[in-house]
Every structure is written in C-alpha cells, then in structure tokens.
Amino acid sequence: MAGIEQWSPKILVSQTGALRLAYDAFMIAQQAAKHSSATLEFYRKRLPRFLSFLEERGVTDPEQITATHCRAFIVTLQDAGLSDNYIHQHAQIVKTFCRFLEAEELASQNAFARVKMPKVAERIMPAFTPEDVKALLGACRTARDRAIVLCLLDSGARAQEFVSLTIGDVDIQTGATHIQRGKGAKGRVCFLGAKARRELIKYLRKRRGAKPPDPLWLAHRTGTPLTYWGLAQMLRKLGKRAGVEGCNAHTFRRTCALWSLRSGMSIYHVRAMLGHRDLTVLQRYLALVEEDLAEAHREHGAVDSML
C-alpha cells in the first residue's frame, strides 16, 4: 500500500495475505489517530518481529493467533536474554495489536486478553552527575550544542517534543516553553532558566532572519530541522567525546526530574513539568531523594553530630 511503511522481507517473508493486510490496517489506524512520528516508527520497527514469529509457526491469519502464541513470543524474547524493558515494549505492542484486531473484527477475540504483561524491575536508571554535565558542556563545539545540553536538562522535554519546538514556542523573557504536542497529543508548559536562555540566545544570534514559526533546532550540515534521530546521533557523539555514558535525551529527562526533586520542587510540579500522567515513576525518584536525606542525617544529624 502506498504511504504505508515498507515491510522488510528480512523481517517477514510473506508480503501478502491476511496477516499483512492486518498490519497495514493497524498502521493506517495509528496514522489516523495522529500519533507522533516516533510512535509510528516504534510500531514499525517492533511489530514485525511478532508477525515473523507467527509466520514461522504457520500462523498467516489473525484469527489463528492465540494466547499461547503471545506467551511463547514473550518467552522467546526472555530466552534471548533481552532486557525486561525491551521485552515489556514488545509485549505492549502485541497487546495493542491484538486489541485492534478484535475491535476491527479482524479476529473474533483478543488473543492477549488473558496474557499477563511481563514484569519490569522497579529500578531507576542512572542520571547525570553535575560533573557529567560539565564534561558534556566542555565537549560541545558549537553554541547550538551547548544550548541543546542546557535546554534539554532544564526543560525535561522528551526527544520528539524537543526537536518539534519552534522559535516562537520559547518566551526568551520568561523562559516559558510551550510543548504544543506532547505525549498523547497533550500540550503543556515547561521552563528554561537564565543560564539555558543565555546559551539559547547565543545560538539564535547566529540564525539571522529566523522567524517565530521556524524550527528552533537545525542540523549543522544541512540546515534542515533537527530530527529525533539527528538529536540522538548528536548526543551519542557528544557523550563519546566527553567520556560520559548514557548520553541520550531520556537521561537528560531523568536528570531534570531528579535534580528538581533534590532542589526542593514538589513532586506535583515535577509531574506537570514533565507531562507524566501519574506519579509512579516520580515516586521512585522521590525514594532516591529520601535516601539522600537519610544519608545526610546519618552524617550531620543535630543530636548525633553535636552531642
């Protein structure tokens, strides 16, 4: 079908048939729902793995998919030694796909309905230290890159939200930054502090003739809008030069949350700033902050240290 992402023959042998048509219908539905390009890419890259798994077992029609197939697919991923987050992502996609098949009457029942989602260990991935951020800033070669580092860290924006910003979305005077289309197509406002705005102004001064509707971030080589993958590549190279592990947009987002909580911002304000739907993840960050407090009290508690 024209306009639908091409199905790689390396991933799935069959290019026709009911399963292929179901995939096309699913992707059209996601596009019609106006999901972000990153979400569509997420489905496009991961769903074919499940469909290849089905075809290898002789399943060529959505009606043939069973709960056993779904569970066996999860077990296959576990046996491959993949991370629990990666496995959970695939299971979530299979769950969404099976629900779609039933809703669209492409299958008589939701094969995933009685399948338990694989558990994800409740752990917090590492955040940057202040020394890490100083090293990253020291490794920046352009005003744009310094502005990106500080604006990512101060705003806590997701990667796709960040590259979608226009110049007019940022109020240089107040720092108010309007995320026009966040996760779930919901907008919100986050803020940039004085230091981040100073670097942003240095970068924008080089953008002679730039107007409010123009993209805020441009690729160095082409001058075209910076993409999700372009940002990822830029951060990866920056981290390598600085000797900082895990240099990606989500680490900046985690660091923003953790540093904000440690500085005294309420968990509810952090949730609003980051656009979280609930407090589950932030409560785990808060637990780390409470551990900091407990350690500080052990070392500097009034009674134990003075009497």
Q: Average pLDDT, whole number, for the chain?
A: 85
Q: Which of 68, 84, 103 is the last residue of a domain?
A: 103
**pLDDT above 50 for 12:** no
Q: What percent of the chain has pLDDT over 70?
A: 81
Q: Which CATH number fits the domain that encloses residue 199?
A: 1.10.443.10
Question: Do 182 and 280 fall into the same domain?
Answer: yes
Question: Do 33 and 173 fall into the same domain?
Answer: no
| pLDDT range class, residue 281, cuts 50, 70, 90 | low
Q: Which of 103, 118, 144 is the last residue of a domain?
A: 103
| Residue in the structure block whose two tokens are 């309420």 | 266
Question: Do 75 and 216 fall into the same domain?
Answer: no
User: Per the structure block, which two tokens stand in for 207?
Assistant: 């953008």
Question: Do 50 and 185 fall into the same domain?
Answer: no
Identify the pLDDT of residue 212: 93
**pLDDT above 80 for 279:** no
Identify the pLDDT of residue 114: 93
Question: Do 164 and 205 fall into the same domain?
Answer: yes
Residue 272, phi-psi category: left (phi > 0), alpha (psi -120 to 50), beta (remainder): alpha
Lowest mean pLDDT, pick from 32-41, 222-231, 294-303: 294-303
pLDDT mean over 132-161: 95
Q: Which CATH number fits the domain that encloses residue 57?
A: 1.10.150.130
Number of folded domains in the chain? Answer: 2
Q: Give the separation between CA 265 and CA 278, rounded to whole angstroms.
A: 17
pLDDT tens by residue, 205-228: 999 888 999 999 999 889 999 999
Look at residues 159, 166, 200 and name the one whose alpha carbon lies nearest to residue 182.
159
- Top mean pLDDT of 11-25, 28-42, 49-63, 283-297 is at 49-63
Evaluate whether residue 204 is within a structural domain.
Answer: yes
pLDDT mean over 242-251: 93
Q: Give the separation between CA 37 and CA 140, rounded to whole angstroms.
A: 28
Expressed as residue numbers, the domain containing 149 is 130-300
| pLDDT range class, residue 298, cuts 50, 70, 90 | low
Cα angle 299, 305, 307 (rounded to 5 degrees) comes to 160
pLDDT tens by residue, 113-132: 999 998 876 666 678 999 99
Check if the beta carbon of residue 199 is closer than 8 Å to that of residue 147. yes
Identify the pLDDT of residue 286: 66
pTM of the predicted model as reported, rounded to 2 decimal places: 0.63
**Three-class SS state of 141:** coil
Between residues 244 and 285, the one the model is more confident about? 244
**pLDDT above 70 for 183:** no
Lowest mean pLDDT, pick from 16-25, 70-79, 95-104, 272-281: 272-281
Look at residues 184, 148, 145 and name the one whose alpha carbon lies nearest to residue 39.
184
Identify the pLDDT of residue 52: 92
What secondary structure, in 3-state letters, does 105-140 show?
CCCCCCCCCCCCCCCCCCCCCCCCCHHHHHHHHHHC
Q: Which of 103, 119, 144 is the last residue of a domain?
A: 103
